Chain A
Amino acid sequence: MRHRSPTRELALDATTIVVIFLLLVPILWVFVASVRPETDITGGGLIPTRFTFEHYAAILAKKPFLIALKNSLIVGLAVAVVTTALAMPAAYALSRFSFGGRNFFALLILGTQMLPSLAVLVPLVVIIRQIGLTNTLTALIFTHLALGMPIAVWMLKGYIDAIPKELEEAALIDGCGRLGAMWRIVVPLIRPAIIAVGTFAFVLSWGEYLMALALISKSDVKTLPLALQGLFDPYSFSWGQVMAGGTIIALPAILLFLIFRRQLVGGLLAGGVKG
């Protein structure tokens, strides 16, 4: 951009800080409330008087919440691993081979990303009920694959496109098979991107609400978003605990996203979006 006077830049920086702060206040408030004593929260004052971890201790002592934490970890990790395992070969095939139907398949995979979960909720719920998989983590893992897989394929394809083909050709001459060349040459070179897409799939699954709500009703298979809802008992609940639970769900998503921001923003812009 063009040059501007330093005072003007300073004024714009100050404005930026204020605007961003206002925009993020609702999220900051969740964090702040999670470390304030309950009397502080119900007192309604803005300034925290004391800093406490009692809400975290309280919900981590609750069995349903711990079970949900475990379930969310299982589902998220499985989704991350399966998404990457499906996306890597698909991206490689799209990048390196020309074959009949290639564009159709590419469009099909990308199109999945544009389809909101709600559009396929009813048929999926009926199908999953008919094959007897309601209230199983398997059903959740399967439906969650749709969340990140298209972006994963798209991102990885971009990274593979950037690797010179000559590197694999050399490996092929040395007697590597095609899959061996992918595994030994391409995979190590794009490892950061592979980790990024796996992380992304994990984060999307970790916070997913609609499919979990529709498919899960038994407490031993509930995931974190449903457990957070469960903390909200209409007769007696603690705002501090609900906000602590919210922080536990939000924090991994936020941290992992910030770490892998560079890889993910490009992929998101290229491949459509899902919140």
Chain B
Amino acid sequence: MSRRRWTSIGGSAVPSVGQVVTYAILIGLSIVVLAPVVWAVLSSFKTQSELAQRPPAPLPSSLATANYTEALGSFDFGLYLQNSVIVTVGATLLTVVVNTMCAYGLAKYNFRGRDVLFLIVLGTIMIPLQLIFIPVYQMAAQLGLVNSLWGLIIPPAATPTGVFLLRQYMLGIPDDLIEAARIDGAGEFRIFARIVVPLCGAALAVVTIFSVMWRWNDFLWPLIISQDQAKYTLPVALAQFNSQLSVPFNYILAMSVVSMLPVVVIFLILQRHIVRGIANTGFK
């Protein structure tokens, strides 16, 4: 580090030009990242006339929650919130269960067809729903999943990335442990549930966090499946209302903040795990 050469009498380093530039860029970008979010949150407390005011006031006149209570009262906002919660929780549970089981089967058994199945999993990591949603929709329609929350829960549950990540993690669990349990007379499922799953905490945390993030924020698939307004999730309701002029913008803002809040809170609590989890796998 070149800054040692710049040491002053007091012993504290005088920052080099490079460091000043680095800090300036990082601080500047942090403002660009944070400002819109903070602005939106502050504005969600403003009245309609305050929002229309030019130039805009930086702070709302009071931290009134009127927008929130009114938005909740005048739309089925509660219902959309409930749909989002049911879909996110249901889909995440299903994702974690089927992905973990599948990963275990692929990681710890030697069976006919295993390599083919694993190759299929790997190969489809590159097929996001966005590229094939028409045939997926057709399949969902044939199975009667359109306009039902099941249609939002089941189809996206088998994520190849989840299987891949968990399998890689399970390869690190020693086979001797499983053999020892077998000798002690434990059944196959019992070994999985009581020995393997508890050892996969870190990988399960990453899959869970990502599933919650994806399902909660998902838009295209819910837009396709929820054709009836009663089945809207928050993002779909927000996007649809935003395109209607009849819905006041202060309500949209309040709903936006509510739909941001849970993931941001989860993120801030679990950010160490998320960052480490991604850093360790290098994949999404």
A and B: bona fide binding partners: no
A residues in contact (CB < 8 Å) with B: none
B residues in contact (CB < 8 Å) with A: none
